[in-house]
A and B are shown apart, each in its own frame.
Chain A
Amino acid sequence: MAPAGSSGEVTVAMATPLIPTPLILTPGDPAGIGAEITLKAHQAGEGGFAIIEDPRRLATLADRLSIDAKLRIIDTPGDISIEDDHLPVIPLEWPQAPCAGTADPRNAPTVIESVRRAATWARDGSAAAMVTNPVNKAVLQEAGFAHPGHTEFLATLSAPHDGAPAMMLACDELRVVPVTIHMALRDVPDALTGDDIVSKGMLLAESLRRDFSCANPRIAVCGLNPHAGENGQFGDEDDQVIAPAVARLQAAGIRAFGPVSADTLFHRRARETYDGVLGMYHDQVLIPIKTLDFDGGVNVTLGLDFIRTSPDHGTAFDIAGTGTAQAGSLIAALRMARLMATNRHAGS
């Protein structure tokens, strides 16, 4: 990714490793907690990002939450000044005044358009990465959105990539990619293919190299069955599907190992033996990452030609507008995006 020309204006202080360009943050569903956690992240001292939002709405919300936020309206991410303590806002207008907790499908096209704008900036280098606030899939789909979620939509805005998109969950201590994601556990064994294990494994390895500075990443591959099948006694997928896929990854020069019994893979000493984990199903990797670091878990989309992270929670309509939302996961997503952009920039 090419750094933007505007980075020349930034004075780089030694103490703070600055990114060449800022992050761009989408509003998410305006009936959710996106604006609130954005203001709280800003209040907590997070900088270097611009939010696409209605500035009047943000100002009103900041007043109500007693957050002292000085907003600065800008046109593109390149206009932000990193030395500045203002919150940079790229304005949009909601067709309908957002109502906390009640999504309005008439706002859905604007939600989608904001994601498209952010992706465009992330692709052309005006932004170093995009971070997305949560959307409500059902409401978007009601308005005609044809994709299961953010991730699949973003893949259509990116150059195609084998195995893409893939979902990575990352915190400071653990990075995991599930090969199958949002499906009934009943459907997992049949849905699991060697090709998918290989392509997701390649994406994970590529991301660990580019975004997390692991020159030669070690990838632990989980078994599907208890004790990784115990030599075929408890299921044959481990021997017949996963082991050959691990061999293919190894043949491609990736330091993959497994299948490993998943229950022995996530304690502290085991985590020292790898840089990333390829899991076979959603909860196999979500249980360890959430149990380890509930607030710090960040959702990263792999296989796009730009960087995208998001907090790992939903719109939280149930608490929207009450002022009780926590910004921890958004802050972690912003920091993760910045770290990935810095590493990718340094390596390019």
Chain B
Amino acid sequence: MKPRIGIIPGDPGGIGPELIARLLAEDGVLGQADILLIGDRHLFEMGQAQAGLEIAMTDCDALTGDWTAIDGLALHDRETIAPEEVRLAEVTLANGRSALGNLNCALEMARDGIIDAVTFGPFNKAALIEAGLGHEDELHYMAEFLGVENYISELNTLNGIWTSRVSSHIPLKDVPDYISGHRITEAVHLIDRTLKRSGLTRPRLSVAALNPHAGDNGNFGMEEIEVITPTVETLRQQQLNIDGPWPSDTVFLKAKAGEVDGIITMYHDQGQIALKLMGFDRGVTVQGGIPFPVTTPAHGTAFDIAGTGTADVGATRAAFDIACDMVGHWDSTA
């Protein structure tokens, strides 16, 4: 059975609608999955116009029948924003409400088994906050919306290199006390499980150090000796394929050389600097810990080029492909 992927446009004022249009026109995409477009017809049409494409969409009500049985590309049409309310390249309440409304609908459909996974175009965080996000990021919002209580963390991936992080959107000064054996263990298990769900049987994992030179034997901080090394040792004894802590200025070279699949980082910029350097336009974010695959391009709404028809679909295609792979491996690793 093909994976059933729900696709939402993201923020109407950004490049999301254009990216979705370009994704649908990519080689093989329509055959790779059953795709359900979730959102306002005029937003998808606007994206197609921006991309210079015309793609036929068939209306359906995915809530009441088997949408995969219909001919053509299925659209679950919604009314989250009037066409004249759409403001390109602006942070507006209306844009934010539209993005959040379509996200809610997609999450409910995935929760209720109508679709298997969600891929979304970029959100604008300021617009989401205006619209009532109520959380530091969309991942925490989704977790609350779905009643998720297990560990959640954003995972980032680029060309087969994956990262998870022990701390995320917190001040750097709070990071050292936040790092604990428990949190490292959660981050390791999350990336291990997610990599298995993306198709790897025994993911090779490396843990980044917190301090420069991995603490230089305790000269530059004790967290490696006191927390990270013992935790890695325990995880290794549990048969995980894991090593570290490695100095963070060299650990990404191991990934670049194809020696590891996943890197567990201690703080936000540690992994994001390296991944964005290696491929700013191609990275994918996976919402780890949500009970079904949710993927999105790692880049933002790119207001500077919104509506100009020059958006690069690479990361969106990668996000879609990863969602499809994860659906295929999800149950066998649950």
Contacts from A to B (Cβ < 8 Å): 181-190, 224-227, 229-230, 233-237, 262-270, 281-284, 286-292, 294
**Sampled A-B contacts (11; CB under 8 Å):** A184-B176, A185-B175, A186-B221, A189-B173, A224-B172, A262-B269, A262-B273, A267-B279, A283-B249, A289-B249, A291-B278
Q: Report yes or no: A267 in contact with B276, Cβ–Cβ below 8 A.
A: yes
8 Å CB contact of A290 from B176, B222, B253: B253
8 Å CB contact of A267 from B174, B247, B277: B277
Q: Which residues of B are found within 8 Å of A186, using beta-carbon distances?
A: 173, 176, 221, 223
Complex Cα spacing A229 to B136, Å: 12
A252–chain B nearest beta-carbon distance, Å? 27
A258–chain B nearest beta-carbon distance, Å? 14
Q: Which residues of B are found within 8 Å of A269, using beta-carbon distances?
A: 280
Q: Which 3 A-B pairs have the closest CB atoms?
A: A235-B171, A184-B221, A263-B272
Interface residue? B68 (CB, 8 A)? no
Q: Which residues of B are found within 8 Å of A225, using beta-carbon distances?
A: 171-172
Q: Report yes or no: A234 in contact with B170, Cβ–Cβ below 8 A.
A: yes
8 Å CB contact of B171 from A184, A234, A270, A287: A234
Sample of 20 further A-B pairs with CB below 8 A, known A268-B280, A287-B273, A294-B250 = A185-B210, A186-B223, A224-B172, A226-B172, A233-B136, A234-B170, A235-B173, A235-B174, A237-B171, A237-B172, A237-B173, A263-B268, A263-B276, A264-B276, A284-B269, A284-B273, A287-B249, A290-B252, A291-B274, A291-B278
Complex Cα spacing A267 to B278, Å: 7
Complex Cα spacing A216 to B274, Å: 28
Interface residue? B270 (CB, 8 A)? yes
Q: Report yes or no: B221 in contact with A287, Cβ–Cβ below 8 A.
A: no
Interface residue? B220 (CB, 8 A)? yes
Complex Cα spacing A185 to B167, Å: 14
B173–chain A nearest beta-carbon distance, Å? 4
Question: Which B234-260 residues have C-beta < 8 A from chain A?
Answer: 247-250, 252-253, 256
Answer whether A290 and B250 are a contact pair too, CB < 8 Å, given A185-B210, A185-B211, A189-B173. yes
Complex Cα spacing A294 to B255, Å: 13
State the main secondary structure of chain B at its contact with A: helix
Q: Report yes or no: A226 in contact with B168, Cβ–Cβ below 8 A.
A: yes
A180–chain B nearest beta-carbon distance, Å? 9
8 Å CB contact of B274 from A227, A229, A287: A287
Answer whether A286 and B212 are a contact pair too, CB < 8 Å, given A263-B273, A266-B277. yes
Q: Report yes or no: A235 in contact with B172, Cβ–Cβ below 8 A.
A: yes
B268–chain A nearest beta-carbon distance, Å? 4
Question: Which B261-286 residues have C-beta < 8 A from chain A?
Answer: 267-270, 272-274, 276-280
Interface residue? B215 (CB, 8 A)? yes
Q: Which residues of A are found within 8 Å of B212, using beta-carbon distances?
A: 181-183, 185, 281-283, 286
Q: Report yes or no: B270 in contact with A287, Cβ–Cβ below 8 A.
A: yes
B177–chain A nearest beta-carbon distance, Å? 8
Answer whether A226 and B280 are a contact pair too, CB < 8 Å, given A290-B253, A291-B274. no
Answer whether A267 and B280 are a contact pair too, CB < 8 Å, given A183-B220, A224-B172, A286-B249. yes
A51–chain B nearest beta-carbon distance, Å? 28
Q: Which residues of A are found within 8 Å of B79, using beta-carbon distances?
A: none
A197–chain B nearest beta-carbon distance, Å? 15
8 Å CB contact of B220 from A184, A268, A290, A294: A184
B160–chain A nearest beta-carbon distance, Å? 16
Q: Which residues of A are found within 8 Å of B279, using beta-carbon distances?
A: 267
Complex Cα spacing A234 to B173, Å: 10
A93–chain B nearest beta-carbon distance, Å? 32
Complex Cα spacing A230 to B172, Å: 13
CB closest residue in chain B, given A184? B221
Complex Cα spacing A188 to B221, Å: 11
Answer whether A234 and B169 are a contact pair too, CB < 8 Å, given A182-B220, A264-B276. yes
CB closest residue in chain A, given B256? A291
A64–chain B nearest beta-carbon distance, Å? 29
Interface residue? B325 (CB, 8 A)? no
B91–chain A nearest beta-carbon distance, Å? 13
A31–chain B nearest beta-carbon distance, Å? 19
CB closest residue in chain B, given A314? B213
Complex Cα spacing A187 to B172, Å: 10
Q: Which residues of B are found within 8 Å of A265, using beta-carbon distances?
A: 273
Interface residue? B216 (CB, 8 A)? yes
Complex Cα spacing A224 to B272, Å: 14
Complex Cα spacing A225 to B171, Å: 6
Complex Cα spacing A294 to B251, Å: 11
Q: Report yes or no: B276 in contact with A266, Cβ–Cβ below 8 A.
A: yes
Q: Which residues of A are found within 8 Å of B170, using beta-carbon distances?
A: 226, 234-235
Complex Cα spacing A230 to B278, Å: 24
Q: Which residues of A are found within 8 Å of B174, using beta-carbon distances?
A: 235
Complex Cα spacing A207 to B3, Å: 56
B248–chain A nearest beta-carbon distance, Å? 5
Answer whether A185 and B172 are a contact pair too, CB < 8 Å, given A291-B277, A291-B278. yes
Q: Which residues of B are found within 8 Å of A229, using beta-carbon distances?
A: 171
Answer whether A226 and B169 are a contact pair too, CB < 8 Å, given A268-B280, A292-B277. yes
Q: Which residues of B are found within 8 Å of A187, using beta-carbon distances?
A: 221
